[in-house]
Chain A
Amino acid sequence: MTETSIPAVELRDVVKRFDDVVAVDHVSLSIAPGEFFALLGPSGSGKTTTLRMIGGFELPTEGEVLIEGEPQGYKPPYQRPVNTVFQNYALFPHMTVAQNIGFGLEMQGVPKDEIRRRVSEMLEMVRLSGYERRRPHQLSGGEQQRVALARALINRPKVLLLDEPLGALDLKLRKAMQLELKAIQEQVGITFIYVTHDQEEAITMADRIAVMNKGKVLQVGTPQEVYEQPRTFFVADFIGETNFLPVRVMNLGSPVEVMTEPGARLTAAWADPALRVGVEAVMAVRPERMFLYRPNEGPTGPGWNRVEGIVQQVIYKGLAIRYEVFLAGGNHLHVHMPVGRTDTTFVRGEHVVVVWPRDAARLFRRES
């Protein structure tokens, strides 16, 4: 990535209100050129509305949208140097594939033979050569998706906006397209802003992710940051699988000390700055950071957390075994133990101790 000080897209304190509903609530983002940036969140989180404001299909109620440093103001979509791949592809049913792909160039007054040349190039890039005269309704979902992509990319926009483009595809095709999209983006070097509700997809494809919920951006970071260092309960819950243990804060020093219901003392490496001593909180640990041992076995010492429980369920998942463990206080944890690494397996009803290191534990405020 070249060092440029001007972000490809910038949102400054953007708010979008529809009557009394606040769809986007004071969002500020800075997206670097050439970045694959994901807007991740559940439906209703405001991610699509945010994307549409960048594209010009909605206008912000407050705040500014800048593309390459230029405020877009009230500019309609046809005056913005961005193109969009729509969720339902929005291919023109009354035009051929070639006419669809060349539409943007036609609108910009590019001469016909150049359009033809570039359309062929594009078709080759998305591996649909020879499809010029076909019509959208004759194409499969995956093919339509690639036409939509070609139609947008041919215009060499500064930024490409993608609104859950893979949602309608079946699993295998989706996974293949994820890799293809990533490859194309790296090849072409355009900034991609990608909206999805699939956290696995975001983690796979994006350079950075903005996790959104209820109109707010909760955290922005690389996939690794967002996965390993979530900053709120929602982010920890939304991304990957997490165990949540209700605890009470005893001490906010270093390390943070908490107590569970039946009186076990645990420590964590990080706590939400808004927590105070004595309040109820939640300890989050990823299942793959936990280990099962027979009682009185396994690492002990200040850097380790240990709780006792009984194995409730054993599910074989191919790569790992998922144990559902019932704890004394009525809580349960799930633990992922990789297959092949250890020879110890456990059975239903067996007494075990669940162990995890302090720095795998994070403390959050309780959220409904």
Chain B
Amino acid sequence: MNSAPAPTPAGEHRLRHLIGQWLFHLYGFAGYAFFYLPILILVIFSFNDSRSVSKWAGFTLRWYEAMLQDRQIMIALWNSVFVAVVSTAIATVLGTLAAMALERYRRFPGRLFADITLYLPIIIPDIAMAIMLLAFFNLSGIGLYTWKVNFFGVRLAVPVSVIIGHVAFNISFVAVVVQARLARMDRTLEEAAQDLYATPWRTFWRVTLPLMMPGVLGGALLAFTLSLDDFVITFFTSGAGFNTLPVRVFGMIRKGVTPKINAVSSLMLGFSLLLVTLALLASRGREERKVGFF
């Protein structure tokens, strides 16, 4: 009926402001959609009832069945887990000790050398590290040794070189995380323990380690994730016949794209999500209790 009154200058400004806000929200939403959509589509098509990964033909679980029945994939899965567990265990111990040394002792002869050696693996691109290890294992003959082990009932043959390589790049990450945690720790607590007749060994077990635990676990979790996800270094150091899950996926992509790859990928995504959730729960639980790991 009557037209709306012409917007006042102030009203116009406000309108522009609102539209601007709304566009901003749209951009934010678009950004997150960008990150999540490809992953979601990947997971959706793992249930596709056809060989296509882009034309939907109905819901099915057959690709997951195929994946579970694929012996090569299952072995690759167990290989991944085994390598991750072993290399994480070693790297966590080594990295934690290194972090303690660097955080406790400010200056000592060779400190610069130790710093460089420990932090270089973080900035070296993985392709460079991969070929370095390949050349070394080839030259030294270590590349020939396989560790035959029975892991939860599955017989695996793991090249030692893969584990060695994983430890090599994980030590640094563990050290960084643990060092960060140690930096926030109250040093007088250890002096107090010694003041109360605890030898350095007992001080470590009763005071330092419990308080350091969140950092150590965080570092271990990070190392575990990096090891599971690693492709390049494993690819170069594993030689023919040995697959971890990422290496197997790469091989599958080469041979032909089917929803089975989506299924394997979804499995890996699910596992990553599980690890992230565990990490979050653990850190939140600790925050609430405000104590060490006990």
* Docked CA distance A56–B192 (Å): 11
Q: Which of A82-90, A203-211, A217-225, A332-340 contacts B (4 or more CB under 8 A)?
A: A82-90
* Docked CA distance A95–B194 (Å): 16
Q: Which of B35-43, B116-124, B139-147, B196-204 contacts A (4 or more CB under 8 A)?
A: B196-204
Residues of A within 8 A of B197 (CB): 78, 104, 107-108, 155
The verdict on A94 contacting B195 (CB below 8 Å), with A86-B188, A107-B202 known, is no
B: number of interface residues (CB 8 Å): 23
Q: Shortest CB–CB separation between residue A288 and chain B, in angstroms?
A: 40
The residue on A at minimum CB distance from B192 is: A90
Decide if B210 is an interface residue (CB 8 Å cutoff).
yes
A: number of interface residues (CB 8 Å): 27
The answer to whether B290 and A137 have CB atoms under 8 Å apart is: yes
Residues of B within 8 A of A240 (CB): none
Decide if A92 is an interface residue (CB 8 Å cutoff).
yes
The residue on A at minimum CB distance from B207 is: A92
* Docked CA distance A83–B194 (Å): 9
Decide if B252 is an interface residue (CB 8 Å cutoff).
no
B115-160 residues at the A interface, CB under 8 angstroms = none
The answer to whether A151 and B196 have CB atoms under 8 Å apart is: yes
Against B, the Cβ 8 Å flags (1 = close, 0 = not) of A68-91 are 000000001110001110111011
Against A, the Cβ 8 Å flags (1 = close, 0 = not) of B199-225 are 110100011001100000000000000
Residues of B within 8 A of A46 (CB): none
Main secondary structure of the interface of A (DSSP, over half): loop
Residues of A within 8 A of B196 (CB): 78, 83, 103-104, 107, 151-152, 155
Residues of A within 8 A of B294 (CB): 94-95
* Docked CA distance A109–B93 (Å): 29
* Docked CA distance A308–B186 (Å): 57
Q: Shortest CB–CB separation between residue B212 and chain A, in angstroms?
A: 11
Q: Shortest CB–CB separation between residue A156 and chain B, in angstroms?
A: 12
* Docked CA distance A181–B283 (Å): 40
Residues of B within 8 A of A55 (CB): 195
The verdict on A86 contacting B191 (CB below 8 Å), with A92-B207, A94-B293 known, is yes
| Leading 5 A-B pairs by shortest Cβ distance | A94-B292, A104-B196, A90-B192, A107-B197, A77-B194
- Residues of B bordering A, CB below 8 Å: 186, 188-189, 191-200, 202, 206-207, 210-211, 290-294
A-B contact pairs, 23 of them (CB 8 A): A76-B194, A78-B195, A82-B195, A83-B195, A83-B196, A86-B188, A86-B192, A88-B186, A90-B189, A92-B189, A92-B207, A93-B189, A93-B290, A93-B291, A94-B210, A94-B292, A95-B294, A104-B196, A107-B197, A107-B198, A107-B202, A135-B290, A151-B196
Q: Knowing that A76-B200, A78-B195 touch, tell me 16 more A-B residue pairs with CB under 8 angstroms.
A: A57-B191, A77-B194, A77-B195, A83-B195, A92-B189, A92-B192, A92-B193, A92-B207, A94-B211, A94-B291, A103-B193, A104-B196, A104-B197, A107-B198, A151-B196, A155-B197
